[in-house]
Amino acid sequence: MHIFEEMAACRHDQLVFWAEPEAGYRGIIAIHDTTLGPALGGTRLWRYASEADALTDALRLARGMTYKAAIAGLKLGGGKSVILADERPRDRERLFRAHGRAVESLGGRYITAEDVGTSVDDMEFVRAETRWVAGIRGGSGDPSPATAHGVYQGIRACAQERYGDPCLEGRHVTVQGVGHVGYQLCAELAAEGARLTIADVNPRSVERAVHEFGATAVAAEAIYDVPADIFAPCALGGVINDRTVARLRVDIVAGSANNQLAEPRHGNALQKRGILFAPDYVINAGGLINVYGELHGWSVERTRRKAAGIYDVVLSVFQRAREDGITAAEAANRVALQILTDARRPGSAEHGSRARRAVSMST
């Protein structure tokens, strides 16, 4: 992998590699863009097949956070951190305190929070070393409910676009991944009367969703073959790929997972099959909104109202896609990039702030 070429291809600002062998810590922090504000993005703990895979994940996720913040109307940039370690490290406190030191080294240019494989408890350990962490106790806490509420509203927008009615009562939704966000999403869908089919690699998560929501469980790989109205990917990314696109028997793909399209061309593949796709970083912005609300002292009610606004944002993206004759994923990218381009123009409120932040970090 040519690291500088990878960074330049998507205009990443900064990449930090940090290792503390005695703590079992190897981490990567990717900062994509700080035009609108400090980079914010969660910390992911995952057993990657290679360092190259970890780096690719960090870069893609950081860029997605930039676009997510921009299109959600938040004064934040995009970043992400990944920790290469066992999914069940022996000493989580040492591991995450090491991560806290890595975050602290950036002096506020990057703010972290929990993500896949990490928890509020882990962020408390990070907090022991740096104040640049959100989603801790006494703050906004677990972002999963806000994320799920935004996804739920985004799914309603998709139903409005496809069926002319946002009501989900009686709609069949397949949910891939019923962990933190997937579980909360199932709760909202079930409350409206949707019929649920679920899959997860964790038997306990499956059992809970079946028991609490009356969901039907299928094997993890079988979820792609279930005929339904809506497919909601709520686990890892890359699930819409050459192997799965042709298997989907749904009208809509809309879920919380990041980077659902393995490659941009898979958005075109969905469109050719007549499947409506809600761009992931648009529909799953509720978690970021939750953290932003914490940083700015918002009430729970205000945060939830902002997350509910994802309904209108998703509809506006679909409208832009129709007007420009492009996919929804391409339309979302155009909207986000236009926001960033406008912010960089002389005379805009954000113009020059990026440079000022860089100077303030180095003095």
Q: Which two tokens stand for residue 254?
A: 């809309």
Using an 8 Å Cβ cutoff, are 290 and 130 in contact? no
Query: How many CB atoms lie under 10 A from the CB of residue 221?
Result: 10
Q: Any idea what the Cα angle at residue 277 is, between residues 176 and 169, rounded to 5°?
A: 65
For 78, 101, 112, the CA distances from 40, given in Å and listed in that order, are: 5, 16, 6
What Rg do the C-alpha atoms of the chain give, in angstroms?
A: 20
What is the DSSP track for 146-190? HHHHHHHHHHHHHHHHHHS----TT-EEEEE--SHHHHHHHHHHH
Choosing from 68, 75, 80, 272, the catalytic residue is: 80
Query: How many CB atoms lie under 10 A from the CB of residue 215?
Result: 24
Q: What is the 3-state secondary structure (H, E, C) of 76-115?
A: CEEEEEEEECCCCCCCHHHHHHHHHHHHHCCCCCEEECEC
d(CA 353, CA 76) in angstroms, rounded, equals 12
Regarding beta strands 195-199 and 216-217, do their DSSP bridges make them parallel or antiparallel, or are they unpaired? Answer: parallel
Using an 8 Å Cβ cutoff, are 233 and 177 in contact? yes
- Say whether 272 is catalytic: no
d(CA 250, CA 28) in angstroms, rounded, equals 37
Query: Which residues participate in catalysis according to the annotation?
Result: 80
